[in-house]
Chains A and B, each alone.
Chain A
Amino acid sequence: AQSVSQHNHHVILSEAASLELGCNYSYGGTVNLFWYVQYPGQHLQLLLKYFSGDPLVKGIKGFEAEFIKSKFSFNLRKPSVQWSDTAEYFCAVTLTDSWGKLQFGAGTQVVVTP
């Protein structure tokens, strides 16, 4: 079955620490890849997306992600987190012929302590 897996459900780290969130998918065809963020009490916002081209994608708020096709992975990174990065992070995938339907991972709750 097609699926999106996020490696960690909960991550706790201190300000200025580096963050890496894993995401793997199990689709065999051409995919579009996304990371969304949901701050407490808010709706989902797009952090970054990959459609084609350079596999290292830079997004908003200092986040970046790397698409590694051979590993079916799209990991999210940030070199130095801030308290304001406390949020839930979702990896999502669409197949290019799927009418844009998003398949989400279960999410990773990230808590950044001062």
Chain B
Amino acid sequence: NAGVTQTPKFRVLKTGQSMTLLCAQDMNHEYMYWYRQDPGMGLRLIHYSVGEGTTAKGEVPDGYNVSRLKKQNFLLGLESAAPSQTSVYFCASRRGTADTQYFGPGTRLTVL
């Protein structure tokens, strides 16, 4: 049982490039979330999903897209990266809304 995994761990992009971050969980959780962590701001919710095939916007969704084609995977896409998207990205999942949210190890993204 690997829990929540994220790919890649590190990435450097140039402004305007695109990329996809992959989050996978093997706990059969319904709910999945993408957060970004910036110094002095805690974690902020980007997008979330309450089940396979569903997604919704969080607090800071602009510049990001997501997809949940399979229950175990939640993809975060950056279509045209900007330096303001330099951050550490965390994925999380939980079985139900009353359950503990489990976090992945994070992806450190730098946009030059």
Contact = CB atoms under 8 A, between A and B. Distances in A.
Nearest first, the 5 closest Cβ-Cβ pairs linking A and B are: A104-B42, A100-B97, A44-B103, A104-B43, A106-B42
Interface residues of B, number: 26
A4 B41 CA distance: 11
B42 A99 contact: no
B58 interface: yes
Centre residue among A42, A94, A101, A104 by max chain B CB count within 10 A: A101
Contact of A102 (B98, B101, B104): B101
A96 interface: yes
Interface residues of A, number: 26
Given A105-B42, A106-B40, A106-B41, A99 B98 contact: no
A27 interface: no
Contacts of B45: 101-103
A99 B103 contact: no
B50 interface: yes
Given A32-B98, A51-B98, A99-B97, A44 B42 contact: no
A105 B92 CA distance: 17
A63 to B, nearest CB: 15
Interface of B: 31, 33, 35, 40-45, 48, 50, 56, 58, 90, 92, 94, 96-101, 103-106
A43 B101 contact: no
A46 B48 CA distance: 19
A9 interface: yes
B33 A102 contact: yes
A90 interface: yes
Interface in A42-72: 42-46, 49, 51
B11 to A, nearest CB: 17
20 contacts: A34-B101, A36-B103, A43-B104, A51-B98, A92-B43, A94-B97, A96-B97, A99-B31, A99-B48, A99-B50, A99-B56, A100-B94, A100-B96, A101-B33, A102-B35, A102-B43, A104-B43, A106-B40, A106-B42, A107-B40
Contacts of A99: 31, 48, 50, 56, 97
